[in-house]
Amino acid sequence: MLNAPRTIPYEFRVVAFDGLVWLYDNSSRTYICDQVPKILLEPLYSLEPDHDDGAMYGVNSDYFCARDIEKLPYVAVPVRNAEDYAADVSERDAWDTAREEANSNCLI
């Protein structure tokens, strides 16, 4: 149902793709004007050791085809407190927690 309250917990993962490490919620799919499911990926950091913090300038979150992302090896973001990713947590709070966890642990 469109805009129904969330009923499943968040499931954050990170993947290496196109020279960057990306964060995404594997429990969420978006259908943008077609029947092909998309996943929103948010860039976290560059895999290139010689890039500084400015290397991420201009790289924005974007939607990618789910079938392409599902093929990639991933690392699950550690869940320290299951309540942080429960269905009743706001999307913003869940993403903030996952982003902090993924960045602090450099999972990839």
Chain segment 71-90, per-residue pLDDT in tens: 999 999 988 888 999 999 99
59 is a domain residue:
yes
If pLDDT is split at 50, 70 and 90, which confidence band does 46 have? confident
- Name which of 59, 45, 38 is nearest 15 in CA terms: 45
68 is a domain residue:
yes
4 is a domain residue:
no
The parent domain of residue 40 ranges over: 12-97
If pLDDT is split at 50, 70 and 90, which confidence band does 2 have? low
- Distance between CA atoms of 33 and 83, rounded to whole angstroms? 33
pLDDT at 95 over 90: yes
81: amino acid identity, one letter: N
- Distance between CA atoms of 25 and 52, rounded to whole angstroms? 26
The whole-model pTM stands at 0.86
105 is a domain residue:
no
**In total, how many domains does the chain have?**
1
Instruction: Note the Cα 26 to chain centre separation in Å.
Output: 7
Please give the pLDDT value at position 79: 84
103 is a domain residue:
no
CA separation (Å) from 8 to 4, 20, 56, 86? 12, 28, 31, 7
Q: 3 or 5: whose pLDDT is higher?
A: 5
